Structure 1
Amino acid sequence: MTTDTLHLRRLAWAGVEIRLDDTRLLIDPLEHAEPLAPVMGRPRQPLPPVDTPAGTHALITHLHPDHYDHDLIARIAAPGTIGCHTPVAPALREAGLDPVPQEIDQPRRIGPFTATPVPSLDWRGHDSDQVAWIVEGGGRRIIHCGDTMWHGDWWRIARDHGPFDLAFVPVNGVIARFEGYDATVPVTMTPEHAIEAAVALGATSACAIHHGLFHNPPTYTEQPDIERRFRLAAEARGIMPVLVPDGALVLLG
């Protein structure tokens, strides 16, 4: 299979679209920001609509509403089109969806793609199950890391599944103070963490996600100067930085 038919697009926030032939795979697509306003504030710019034609599938990293947009997912929820980690499947079924659950490291074919969930670490602990997704297709291998904290499984993921052409990495390093949480340290990866994760994963390039759209101090405070720091960290570690706006294509080298 040739590589020139694989198309990647960064959607709003942490959303990513991967297309190959007639199959469209969305990871954490977000279209509706209204439920996020009490904590994360209103988005700095409107969220663009997400195309969901026939042949669209979706993968969910976890159930926080900035990654799991129920109304959008329900719009494409034909049997076999929604993938998730096994522990969150009951909640999706209660919400009226029919997900395809997968265990960690269990691959599944989705048209021309192979999708595999691997470990990720959410700052709220075990009551907020989260995974990263590896997607292979068109001779390429990428990983979408959700909105993870730094964790020690990067090297195991690289050993068992890498190397990667591209890692989509969260970079906003948010300081979060809501619902009984009161952190004074970042609870998701900073730009520097994200580049170090890409290095550990054996990724050639890293695309920054999960930044720039929400900033609502003191409950949700994003890191300053994210893009400059991301570029500097990437240059220091020999990683190709990818910084593109919502809706833009992501080009693979």
Structure 2
Amino acid sequence: MIPPDTHLQIGSLLFEGLDQIDLTGPFEVLSRVPNSTYRVYAPSLDPVRDVRGLRILPDATLAEAPRLDVLHVPGGQGQEALMRDAAVLGWIRDQAAGAGHVLSVCTGALLLGAAGLLVGRRATTYWNAVHLLPFFGAEPVDERVVIDRDADGRTWVFAAGVTAGIDGALRLAAALRGDEAAQAIQLGMQYAPEPPFDSGTPRTAPPAIVAQARAAAADLTARREATARAIAAERGIRPPEPASVTR
């Protein structure tokens, strides 16, 4: 836990085509962390649209961001367009080097991988992309939230798809300000999910529903895998075939 009198700079990456819950779910948590400043940063000040068309405005540009204590990288379909974006990946790499805590949600983990930050780490991501993590040198773990720590104390929190970002952010809030602070945030959000169906993972959803979801995302999944394979080849990473997932 960080001393409560230490002010924290918390920042989230914003980009076109992200999944807004990857951003706004953790926002509900991180914006409530005591003694902190939370801002959203994007390549420009132009509004962006999430994958479903919701317009979101950044607070400042990437170049205007201070040295962050907490870096949050969301995901979504727009992630694929940034996998070769040197400016964005460089910003992620630079901010992660100085931050004490890094949170990725969904395919934000693939952006960390493209920035070269996943080698040797245990990580998770969206269920239809978790098999790609070994192409970036990571060990995929089939859990909703995975925490990995460096020897110097830097904490990496990886949340699986979309709504898992809330869980990951609460775990992060506890690491920053203690369990009681995180519990107060959870109560303030009234976060006590009771889903009407047990269909939130491929293991529990009906097989026909899983097949439909995979088919709908087949083109994007293929593009993501082609990008991941190319990056792995450039870096001399040889992932297992097929990629294994730790449970």
TM range (shorter): 0.3 to 0.5
Higher helix share: 2
Q: Which protein is richer in strand relative to its size?
A: 1
TM-score, normalised via structure 1 length: 0.35
Normalized against structure 2, the TM-score is what?
0.36
